[in-house]
Amino acid sequence: MLRHGSASGSPTIVLWPRTVPGQVDQTSVSPSAVAESVTVVPTAVRISVILLALAGTAGHLAYLDALWWHSLGLAPTVARNVSGATLTLLTAHAVVSVVCAVLGVMLVLTEHHRGEAARALGLAYGAWSYLMAYSGVTMLFRPPTPGLQRELFEAHFLLVEVLGLVGLLRFTSIFPRELTHEELRPPEALPGAFRPIHQASVFMRRPGAPLAAGAAVLALLWGWTLASGANLSDAGLSRAMDVARFCAAGLLVMNLRHAWSAATEGDRDGLTWLLVGLSLLAGSLSLLIGGNVLVAVTGFPEPSVAWRPILLDFGLVGFLTAVAMSVLSRGRADPGRALTKTATAAAAFTLGLFLAAGFEALFTGGIVSSFSFRSGVGTALAFAGVLSTYRTLGDVVARVLPL
C-alpha cells in the first residue's frame, strides 16, 4: 500500500506481516524489500505448480504408453497383458490428475483479491496431481541404479505431499477472507480441555505457521528415519506421518468451521461453491450405493466397464472443479443455483435407482410371485415417476439447503 504522508513528501510503502489475525502490524520497509517479498514467493509457487503439473502429466502419458499405446517411447514397454477395463480405469484416473493439474495452473496464474488463497489452493492441486501420477513419474524419472540419487528421488514424494498439505492449510486459513481476532475467540461454552486445541488452530492460521510446521515434520521424519537406519522412502509410511495427516485434516475442518460460523453476506458465494463440490462428491457416492443395490436385487449383468471407480472419479472431478470455482468464479456464476441443481439431480437419480430395485423385485416375482413382468419394466416405471416429479423434488431440495 502507498501512503502519502511522510515528512519528505514521498510515498512510504507499508507491509503487513499480520502476526495475529485481525491485528495490523504496520512496518515500513524499503520499496526493494517489498518488491522482493511480493514477487519471489508467488513466482516460486507458480513455477513449482507448473513443474508439478507438467511432470505429473508426462508421468501419466509414459505409464499409459508403456501399458497400452507403445508409440511415444517415453518409458520401457511393460511386457504384460492389461485388460480393457483396467486401461479404462487407469485412463479415468489420469483424467482426474490432469484436470487437477490444469486447475492448479489456472489458480496460480490468476490475479485478483483472492490471489494468495488461489496460489495456496493451486499448490495443493499441483501436489495432488503429481502424487496421483506416482507410477508414471517413478517409471519416467527414477534413477536406474540404487544409490543416493534413487534414495533422494523416493524421498521427494513426501516433500510434495507436505507441500500440498501446507497449501491446503493456508488456503482454509484465509478463505473466503482472513478472520479477525474477535471472530476467532473461543466460545464461552467451549470446555477447558479443548481450548488448547482451539488456540493451536488459531496459531496455525498465521502466514508462516503451516510452512514452519511442514518443515518441522519433514525434519523430524527424515531425521528419525536416517537415525533408525531405514530408507528415506519409508518416512512417508511411518505412523508419525499418519498422525501428521490426521492433525492436518483436523485443522482443515476447524478452519472451515470458523469460516462458516463467521461468514458474512460477502462470503456466501465462496463457501457455497464448497457445498457444490461436496454435493457432487456425495451424489457420486449415493449413485454408487443405489447402483449396487439395483444390481444386487435384480441380478442385472455387470457392465464390462469398471463403472464404480469411474463414477467416483467423476464426483472427484466435480468436487475439485467446484472448489476451484470458489476462487476463480469472481461472481460470474451463481453457486446457489448450481448447488440446487446438483443436489436435485443426485437425489432424483438415487431415488430412481432405489425405486427401480424395489419395482424390479416386485414385478419379476422376487416378492409377489403372481407378477411376472419382463425385467426392466420396474426400472422404466421408477425413473418415469421420478422424472415426472423432478420439479417438485427440486423445490423440496431448495427449501432444505442452507441458502
Quote the mean pLDDT of the chain: 83
Q: What is the pLDDT of residues 205-224, one digit of tens each?
A: 998 899 999 999 999 999 99
| 314 within a domain of the structure (yes/no) | yes
**C-alpha span between 312 and 315 (Å, rounded):** 5
**6 falls in which pLDDT band (50, 70, 90)?**
very low
Which cell numbers hold the place of 57? 502429466
Decide if pLDDT at 273 tops 60.
yes
Angle, helices 148-174 vs 115-132, to 10°: value is 140
**C-alpha span between 291 and 353 (Å, rounded):** 6
Which cell numbers hold the place of 372? 411376472
Q: Whole domain around residue 358: which residue ranges? A: 263-403
| 17 within a domain of the structure (yes/no) | no
> Taking the CA of residue 142 as centre, how many other CA atoms within 13 Å lie in the half-sphere pointing to its CB?
21
Q: What integer pLDDT is reported at residue 375 of this predicted model?
A: 64
Q: What is the pLDDT of residues 353-398, one digit of tens each?
A: 999 888 888 776 554 444 455 567 788 888 999 999 999 998 888 8
Decide if pLDDT at 402 tops 60.
yes
Distances in Å between the Cα of 399 and the Cα atoms of 344, 369, 376 are 11, 41, 33
Q: Which helix (H) or strand (E) holds 241?
A: helix 239-261
| 26 within a domain of the structure (yes/no) | no
Q: What integer pLDDT is reported at residue 119 of this predicted model?
A: 93
| 267 within a domain of the structure (yes/no) | yes
Residue with cell 464390462: 304
Q: What integer pLDDT is reported at residue 79 of this predicted model?
A: 57
| 129 within a domain of the structure (yes/no) | no
Q: DSSP code of 236?
A: G
Phi and psi torsions of 27, nearest 5°: -130, 120
Q: What is the pLDDT of residues 7-32, one digit of tens each?
A: 444 443 333 344 444 444 444 444 44
**C-alpha span between 126 and 165 (Å, rounded):** 11
| 207 within a domain of the structure (yes/no) | no
Residue with cell 461472481: 331
Q: What integer pLDDT is reported at residue 146 of this predicted model?
A: 85
Which cell numbers hold the place of 320? 475439485
Q: What is the pLDDT of residues 47-69, one digit of tens each?
A: 999 999 999 999 999 888 888 87
**270 falls in which pLDDT band (50, 70, 90)?**
confident
Which cell numbers hold the place of 330? 469472481
**C-alpha span between 14 and 315 (Å, rounded):** 44
Do the Cβ atoms of 17 and 206 come closer than 8 Å? Answer: no
Do the Cβ atoms of 315 and 307 come closer than 8 Å? Answer: no
| 301 within a domain of the structure (yes/no) | yes
| 92 within a domain of the structure (yes/no) | no
Instruction: Kindly report the length of the chain.
Output: 403
Q: Which helix (H) or strand (E) holds 127?
A: helix 115-132
In the chain, the number of structural domains is 1
Q: What is the pLDDT of residues 33-47, one digit of tens each?
A: 444 445 687 889 999
pTM: 0.82
Which pairing describes strands 2-3 and 12-15: parallel, antiparallel, or unpaired?
A: antiparallel
